[in-house]
Structure 1
């Protein structure tokens, strides 16, 4: 099944696939218009981030451990 979405700028239908280079926009023009709107702060995310909580030492240690396991480009000193 082909998924179609409307261009956020001009409402033209766009087929959502790998070949649609500017998806969800219909063209580079619409993509740049939207980028300009964000750059001029005409668009903004209105809701605060949900679930923000202070990180404990244990949480930071767990995040660091997970990061180190998933990113093998770090070499630990001996």
Structure 2
């Protein structure tokens, strides 16, 4: 590194799993997570469908606008 290159401080972000500090840089293989443990816990939650996006589509046997359901 030459004297003319600026020193870049690593960006610190909040770990989405534990809320702790996490270095957001290419040197952190777990980014945005702080550790392999937090990354694995998050992946496990997705894999077990703990994180879901609600689907407003009714079941096939209950069409939209069914007057019997209120």
Provide TM-score, normalisation by structure 1: 0.53
Distance 1:42 1:26 in 2: 21
How does 1:1-78 map onto structure 2 within 5 Å?
1-46=9-54
Listed as ranges, the gaps of 5+ residues in structure 2 are: 1-8, 56-70
Provide TM-score, normalisation by structure 2: 0.58
Per-residue displacement from partner, 1:40-71 (whole Å, max 9, x unpaired)?
Answer: 11112458xxxxxxxxxxxxxxxxxxxxxxxx
Between Structure 1 and Structure 2, the one with more helix by share is 1
* Higher gyration radius (CA): 2
Tell me, what secondary structure is at the counterpart of 2:13?
strand
Distance 2:17 2:54 in 1: 19
State the superposition RMSD in angstroms.
2.1
